[in-house]
A and B are shown apart, each in its own frame.
Chain A
Amino acid sequence: MSKPEAAAGPGVQRHEVLGLRSPLTPRQTAARARRFGSFYYADMWIRRMRGYQGTVLMTAVGTPLVYLLGMGTGLAVLIDGNSNAGFPGADGSTVSYLMFLGPALVATAALMVSSEENTYTVMGGFKWHRTYYGPNASPLSSGQIALGHVLGLTVRILLTTGIYYLFLVLFGAVAQPATGWLMIFTALLAGLAFGMPLMAFSATLKEDKGQFALVQRFIVMPLFLFSGTFFPLESLPLAVRWIGWISPLWHSTELGRVLSYGHPEPAAMTAVHVVYLLVLTFGGLLLARRNFTRRLDG
């Protein structure tokens, strides 16, 4: 047995009793946790996701395939055959229904993942699985836990939208691949812009009395159907068109269309889409952090 090296510090000596070597003292570990806490929590979140990786992969691969086959090719036969239908593309040209639909499907996928992970997962963290309380008893702050959840969510959404985008390319639904791939990120914005306020709401719930079922039925479903997903928003009467205007899904889908096939749109409108999505995302995130802190530290 060699003698402990003096240069290694007191931490090494302490752990040598157990036959373990740690480069860090408990104080140093805590300092690191304070600095990188959100990444620590995101790391845990992603590891937990492996528990249901089969489901994650199945929805990420199966859903695009079914929607692209069913709507993008099946329904497209009817719509492209109708002379009244035509979707304006770049420089006065028209594009096929499949190209029109593609960006909407990617953004929808991001929204669905986000609505799943910001309802029961958040509620479970406080109430059922109590995932937040362990980290909160460590040097991690409640703000870091909230941010860690968002980072984990971001990874899962990017995985889903990335796979979806690959499917679009395989189906020939992207006219401009040079800018089209950016829709992976505009779709992510849709997921976060919708998900952050929802996360803030879920963090305040003390009991599940079916609120999530009602959110699904009265918010997620209408947003999905009335956001110009399957048809241009203009074909709806004004009485329901406003649903699209406030919907993160519509703003993100329009961005995706500009990127994917050069959907004609004034630059100011494009800026409005981006600003609206960013405001919802960061406003929601601030609110969610506040609610997490109140619940965990209060």
Chain B
Amino acid sequence: MSIENRTAPTVLVPQDRFLGSLYGRNIRAVIARGLKATWGTNWSIMVSGFVEPVLYLVAMGIGLGALVGAVTGPGGQEMEYANFIAPALLAVSAMNGAVYDSTMNVFFKLNYARLYEGMLSTPLGPLDVAMGEIFLALLRGALYATGFTAVMGAMGLITSPWALLMIPAAVVIAFGFASFGMAVTSYMKTFQQMDWIQMIMLPMFLLSATFYPLSVYPEAVQSVIQALPLWHGVELLRQISVGIFSWGTAGHLLYFVVMIVLGLTLTTNRLRVLFLK
């Protein structure tokens, strides 16, 4: 054995480890930095973030509910309009939160604050950075999902104990969008391009069987909607909220597992290309 090999600390030889230079086994450093930054500056905005879906629930559930009446839910049983849209609004808020955190937020850190450049010049790898950022987004998502579910309970919209599972399911949905969002953001060059992301989310929000069942559409439109991730999120949470499961439930979950794996691979790869040429 040569002297160099004996004196060099083993942690600094990433080639010998699983995932080598991509992963520095230090996600917690990224998370700790994120938490510190959040609580130091904008915690009030952070905490009040769950208000938006609640406002939608109150306005649409009561006001629009009076116009719509009962609707057909999962398993073909009739349900109140507020019960129908509540899980959908939770899915939308999981999507919005995850996409905001993984696009606008990451875009700023990537191009203006140059935060990741600094992080990657330490022993942190791109996978640490991607996972750390996504974990923070999910933590925030879990907080909002808990708050929203509590409001649903207070409004008497929870009819099954299964409804508690909406919280972890919302986190899975957020994970799917967050892992993809970061990869997409790495291609963006200007703030104006970020508006295009909004222009994809708005139609998804309005058309993904959020406010009415899919059956109002013609067949051809239905299959387009069914290809979109938000529809799977809405259906998943809607089935969980009433505790009626089918093979479809597993299908929706699988959709998000695939999305997460693909998104993470893409994101890590993009960060590697951008910074570790």
Q: Residues of A within 8 Å of B, CB-based: how many?
A: 37
List the A side residues contacting B199 at CB < 8 Å.
Answer: 58-59, 62
| Interface residue SS majority, chain A | helix
Any B CB within 8 A of the CB of A6 = no
CB-nearest residue of chain A to B46: A210
A69 at the interface (CB under 8 A from B): yes
B28 to chain A, nearest CB (A): 27
Query: Is A63 within 8 A of B212, CB to CB?
Result: no
A82 touches B69 (CB 8 A): yes
Give B25-56 interface residues, CB cut-off 8 Å to A: 42, 44-45, 48-49, 51-52, 55-56
Q: Are A231 and B64 touching (Cβ within 8 A)?
A: yes
Q: Which residues of A contact B207 (CB under 8 A)?
A: 66, 69-70, 74
Please tell me if the beta carbons of B63 and A66 are within 8 angstroms of each other in the complex: no
A180 CA / B208 CA spacing, docked (Å): 31
Binds B, one of A123-131, A164-172, A215-223: A215-223
Beta-carbon contact of A236 and B52 below 8 Å: no
Residues of B within 8 A of A214 (CB): 44-45, 48
- The reply to whether A235 and B203 contact each other, CB–CB distance below 8 Å, is no
Check A74/B60 contact, CB under 8 A, given A58-B195, A82-B68, A235-B66.
no
Provide the residues of chain A in CB contact with B62, threshold 8 Å. Answer: 235-237
Contact check, A82 vs B211: say whether CB atoms are below 8 A apart: no
Check B51–A217 contact: CB distance below 8 A. yes
Q: Which residues of A contact B196 (CB under 8 A)?
A: 58
A246 beta carbon closer than 8 Å to chain B: no
Q: Is there contact, CB below 8 Å, between A52 and B192?
A: yes
Interface status of A77 (Cβ within 8 A of chain B):
yes
Most chain B beta-carbon neighbours within 10 Å: one of A54, A74, A79, A217: A74
B156-179: which have CB < 8 Å to A? none
Given the contacts A55-B192, A210-B42, A240-B58, A77 and B67 also touching, CB distance less than 8 Å:
no
Cβ–Cβ contact B59 & A66, under 8 A = no
**Other A-B pairs beyond A221-B55, A230-B63, 5, CB < 8 Å:** A78-B212, A82-B69, A85-B67, A225-B59, A230-B59
